[in-house]
Amino acid sequence: MMSYANQTVTRQRPTTTAGSHGNNTPVTFTELPIHGCLVQPGDTDQDNINRDGVLIAWTVFMPVDADVQPGDRLVIDEHPCQVFGQPQRWTGGVLPHTRVLLKQWEG
């Protein structure tokens, strides 16, 4: 664990059921705390044309063996954020870790 990575995030993995149109709908979420993380703010973007909201991006560095995958959410400061893309794992070098990009809409 990196000494400066002292934050804990909660991974939420959806349990889904098939909806009436064949799409998967989240029913419940199983939670798993992941210790040894470093959360950094990322870019923000605003959409005033289609919706009055703000997109907030986060980058989370976590242990290389962290159980996180696309479709999961990570809770940052009590706000659930969607995992964006595939978690990226670095297994070599001095600091093996996993980098996860997150996106969250507000508004």
Which of these, 58, 72, 69, lies nearest to 7 by C-alpha position?
58
Which pair of structure tokens corresponds to residue 3?
């000494």
Q: Characterize 16-55 residue by residue with b for buried, 16 or more Cβ atoms within 10 angstroms of its Cβ, and e for exposed.
A: eeeeeeeeeeeeeeeeeebebbbbeeeeeeeeeeeeeeee
* Gap between the Cα atoms of 18 and 22, Å rounded: 5
pLDDT of residue 47: 67
The whole model's pTM is what? Answer: 0.81
pLDDT of residue 50: 66
* Cβ(34)–Cβ(5) below 8 Å: no
Superfamily of domain 7-106: Bacteriophage SPP1 head-tail adaptor protein (2.40.10.270)
Stretches where the chain sits below pLDDT 70 are: 1-3, 47-51
